[in-house]
Structure 1
Amino acid sequence: MAPGGCIFKEVLESQSAVVDYDISATKSILKHPQSTKDAIVYNGKCGVSSTNGVHELLECPVCTGSMYPPIHQCPNGHTLCSSCKVRVQNRCPTCRFELGNIRCLALEKVAESLELPCRYQNLGCHDIFPYYSKLKHEQLCQFRPYNCPYAGSECSITGDIPTLVAHLKNDHKVDMHDGCTFNHRYVKSNPQEVENATWMLTVFNCFGRQFCLHFEAFHLGMAPVYMAFLRFMGDENDAKKFSYCLEVGGYGRKLTWQGVPRSIRDSHKKVRDSEDGLIIQRNLALFFSGGNRQELKLRVTGRIWKEQ
């Protein structure tokens, strides 16, 4: 649930049962994926072991990350990266001498001769790269971990898709459903008080992949709106292999939306702010709800299919 938001009740309907859910915020457990530092041979190529003495010299003593030009050193020869030079206020963290503007050109030259494995080798990347190309690759590597897609929390969990699916189920208590169609009814008393609120995320297992259905309330400019959209648990190229449609309505009127699910590489906020989904003005949503417009009773149906 988003900070300052409200608690909602979500009713999921199927042919066999109707279940009520009281939605409340959950606390995230902070975990960090472990990195590996093993010598490897991939595709007949030998990568330099990270336990190699030369590679250890390229590790910044402050942030422990790999150093890239400009690499700085103090008069006593201690080195650190350019980012940390600012953080330590131009004082060597090892001997406390003033750093000045001395470059360690020899170490920068040595780095050019190194070839190293991708840091995500334990997640399936089997390529090795020249030292100065490795960082750029890792920023776009298809095997890099995904961020937790749960909305309305400061969850720092990262991992591959199976890890995140288990995390969503066990830690966030997210509802998991099999099937490519859904029929949800969202209920909220006093909808006039809704501001930046999020219903609990629902995950669908469909075509052997996972999809996240989001539904929430926020202000689009000055207008209060509700929005529903789908995200794909995987990379953008795979997300484009699928399409989905959403429909909401009542009293002989309806709104429909058809689109392509966005990859969870794009943050929940980025997708929401791009307005890439079904958006319903609050007054129209209350009209669909009928009655005296004092309670939201909004039915959202949808379907996911695979493009040929």
Structure 2
Amino acid sequence: MDIDSIECVIDNDEIHHHLNHQFSSTKSHGGATVATNIVGPTAIAPATSVYELLECPVCTNSMYPPIHQCHNGHTLCSTCKARVHNRCPTCRQELGDIRCLALEKVAESLELPCKYYNLGCPEIFPYYSKLKHESLCNFRPYSCPYAGSECAVVGDITYLVAHLRDDHKVDMHTGCTFNHRYVKSNPREVENATWMLTVFHCFGQYFCLHFEAFQLGMAPVYMAFLRFMGDEEDARNYTYSLEVGGSGRKLTWEGTPRSVRDSHRKVRDSHDGLIIQRNMALFFSGGDRKELKLRVTGRIWKEQQNPDSGVCIPNMCV
């Protein structure tokens, strides 16, 4: 028998698990344990044994084609196959180039709830569509927006606001206008010069104000920008302005805040904010231009639709 043509065989009794049963799970989120049940004819979940068969024993992630197996029938995902130096992680036998086509067919027959169902997502997807949805699901948790460290904390907005306040000790303000002063004794140091994040609460939403220095090509610059703590669709309902100035001159910026779904680095590298060259920033600072003393003012407002004219009008927060 040609080894490359071997397929794994799975008992049909393990393949399908039909409707009208309860699928429950308990997960931890935001420091709290949340138990959720999905009940009724709209809930479809695999038998535990089948679900475990589709879990890679190395990375524990769900396997997607090509699914590989050893001569003894042990399976693993294609990513991990390259990591195990051609040895089965279960029996240590040499791996060939065998596809487990039967298990791939099993996966095609399954429909699963989104893994964020305990956070509110009601959707159910074919196995091979589920992963793409989850990468974009509006119910997926947000990453911590703090830029001063590689913070791995995730959660909903309420949890992250408390995390920013209690763990990162960020400045918290209520209101839609701000007037901040940024000082640096040695403005020639631009690498990793990130000032404390400021969080604003207005219109019932939270916004993050960033200010930092970095090298833009050969030019050292400062940049200020605002991020919305929510999804991009909701962020489009708001506009913000930033202004710096001195000696009778000023620079202004007006734009839409970016969602915290976009990473801090992605927003910064897109230059979507107020960028001030270092020489201009020192000019605005006054004095002998050897110390940065830059004042940034701004405002956030919400665009509201005028029911009579259909035109968006700004709703200023006092």
Q: TM-score range by the shorter chain?
A: 0.7 to 0.9
Q: Deviations over 1:200-246 (max 9, x none)?
A: 00000111111000011111111111110001111111111110000
- Rounded Cα–Cα distance in structure 1 between residues aligned with 2:37 and 2:294: 56
Structure 1 residues 122 and 200: CA distance shift in structure 2, 3 A:
same
1:45 maps to 2:46 = no
Amino acid at match of 2:165: K
Q: How does 1:159-178 map to 2 (within 5 A)?
A: 159-178=155-174
Whole-angstrom CA distance in 2 between matches of 1:37 and 1:211: 30
Q: Indicate the larger mover: 188-197 or 226-235.
A: 188-197
**In 1: Cα distance, 2:36 partner to 2:175 partner:** 41
Question: What is aligned with 1:89?
Answer: 85
Give the counterpart of 1:256 among 252, 267, 271.
252
Distance in 2 (CA, whole Å) between partners of 1:96 and 1:39 is: 39
Any unmatched runs of 5+ in structure 2? Answer: 1-28, 305-318
TM-score by length of 2: 0.82
Aligned to 2:56: 60
Q: Note the 1:5-84 alignment, pairs <5 A.
A: 40-41=38-39, 44-48=41-45, 52-84=48-80
Residue of structure 1 equivalent to 2:125: 129
Contact 2:173 2:199 in 1 (8 A): yes
Q: Is the 8 A contact 1:198 1:216 kept in 2?
A: yes
Count of residue correspondences: 276
Deviations 1:260-299 (A, max 9, x none): 0011111111111111111111111111111111221111
| 1:215 aligns to 2:220 (yes or no) | no
Greater shift in the superposed pair: 231-240 or 31-40: 31-40
Distance 1:38 1:66 in 2: 21
SS of the residue corresponding to residue 248 of structure 1 reads strand
Residues 262 and 271, structure 1, Cα contact 8 Å, conserved in 2:
yes
Matched, 1:225 2:234: no
Q: Which amino acid aligns with 1:47?
A: I
Does the CA contact (< 8 Å) of 1:39 and 1:47 recur in 2?
Answer: no
Residues in 1 aligned to 2:79 and 2:37: alpha-carbon distance in whole angstroms: 28
Q: 1:294 aligns with which of 258, 281, 290?
A: 290
Whether contact under 8 Å (1:195, 1:224) holds in the other structure is: no
What is the Cα-based RMSD across aligned positions, in Å? Answer: 2.0
- Percent of residue pairs bearing the same amino acid type: 78
TM-score, normalised relative to structure 1: 0.85
Deviations 1:113-151 (A, max 9, x none): 111111111211111111111111111111112111111
Contact 2:58 2:76 in 1 (8 A): yes
Aligned twin of 1:198: 194
Distance 1:76 1:139 in 2: 34
How far the C-alpha of 1:161 sits from its partner, in A, is 1.1
Higher relative contact order (CA 8 A, sep 6+): 1
Q: Which amino acid aligns with 1:297?
A: K
CA contact (8 A) 1:211 1:231 kept: yes
2-structure distance, mates of 1:35, 1:85: 34
Cα distance change of structure 1 residues 253 and 38 upon mapping to structure 2, 3 Å threshold: closer
| Structure 1 residue 195: Cα displacement | 3.2
1:37 Cα deviation (Å)? 9.4
Moved runs in structure 1, 4+ residues, more than 4 A?
Answer: 31-39
What residue is the counterpart of 1:17 in the other structure? none
- For 1:130 and 1:176, the matched residues in 2 are separated by 43
Residue 61 to residue 248, structure 1, CA distance change in 2 (3 Å): same
Q: Which amino acid aligns with 2:178?
A: F
Task: Name the amino acid aligned to 1:168.
Answer: L
Decide which structure has the larger Cα Rg and report it: 2
Q: Which runs of 5+ in 1 are unaligned?
A: 1-30
